[in-house]
Amino acid sequence: MTADEIPGARRGNGAGAAESTAELLVPAVTRTTRVLEALVRRPNGASLTELAEQCSLAKSTASNLLRTMVAEGLISYDPQTRFYNLGPLLVEFGVAAVTRTTAVTEARPFMERLAEQTGLACLAIQRMPDGHFTAIAKIESRKEIKVTIGMGARFDSTSPLLSRLIKAWAGESAGPDAEQLERIREQGHWAVFGEYRPELNVVGFPVFDRDAQPSLVITLLGIGQDLTVDDVERMSGFLVEAANAITTRSGGIAPPGYPTAGRPEGLAG
């Protein structure tokens, strides 16, 4: 096996370096990762044949691997449909990983303050390597009628609010969205009203990494009059302050020109 056959293997200078890198990797772990990645993309699960084909594995190899993964709790198996899916152990792994993520740890007090003061659900959403977004932390809404979006929820790469917040600091200054992206950079946050579905309004702000790029988006979700244009304007200062504080405390750097603001009355404390 060479480095070219291994997804994500680093290539050195020359064939010797590539072979050396390949020797350090364990094929069984690579195959297990491929299976998990395949199941992440298939919410309804997949059959043995489908996983073997998608992961480029011999059917016998895939069968043995899947049986072991089921025994370890990494995946589950439904004997009626004969489909495999992500297993319960991954939930524990995911929760542990999220709680140890610096940006999420630093964001939680601000998320709790926003949820407490507004009564709305507050989500921390991260962009994944393939471009889609995943909710990795949540403070529940206190409203009787609430938005039912939980941890692990996936959003498309073109998601109205999330994609715009990412694009605003991705160096894009031309195109049909140029004026809107400039306004987002000036405000430091953005809101959309009814663009996800009727009556669902969302406001969010970015948290930046060491390269001054958005690594996390903190959002508030409201139904109808629970989140209005006036509400967003009132909390604007706190959103910007939260973005700066979380970015700094998690080791990130706000990009040049990102606004600063004090905490408005009503969200202080």
Q: Report the CATH number that the domain containing residue 50 is assigned in CATH.
A: 1.10.10.10
pLDDT in tens, the chain (269 residues): 344 443 444 444 544 544 455 568 899 999 999 999 999 889 899 999 999 999 999 999 999 999 999 999 999 999 999 999 999 888 778 766 665 667 888 899 999 999 998 999 999 999 887 788 988 888 988 777 667 777 788 899 999 999 999 999 987 666 778 899 999 999 999 999 998 888 899 999 999 999 999 999 999 999 989 999 999 999 999 999 999 999 999 999 999 999 986 444 445 44
Residues 34 and 156 in one domain: no
Report the 10 Å Cβ neighbour count for 77: 16
Query: 125: which strand partners?
Result: 135, 217
Please measure the distance between the N-terminal and C-terminal CA atoms of the chain and give it in whole angstroms.
58
* Domain enclosing residue 69, as ranges: 3-87
Does a structural domain hold residue 259? no
Cβ pair 31, 57 in contact under 8 A: yes
Same domain, 110 and 243: yes
Inside any domain, residue 258: no
Whether residues 65 and 108 share a domain: the answer is no
pTM over the 0.85 mark: no
The verdict on 106 and 139 lying in the same domain is yes
Same domain for 50 and 114, yes or no, is no
In this structure, the answer to whether residues 153 and 34 fall within a common structural domain is: no
Our count of domains for the chain comes to: 2
If 0-12 CB within 10 Å is exposed, 13-18 middle and 19+ buried, where does residue 100 land?
Answer: exposed
Please state whether 247 falls in left (phi above 0), alpha (psi between -120 and 50) or beta.
Answer: alpha
Q: Domain for residue 256, yes or no?
A: no
**Are residues 217 and 142 part of one domain?**
yes
Residue whose pair of structure tokens reads 């790029």 in the numeric block: 213
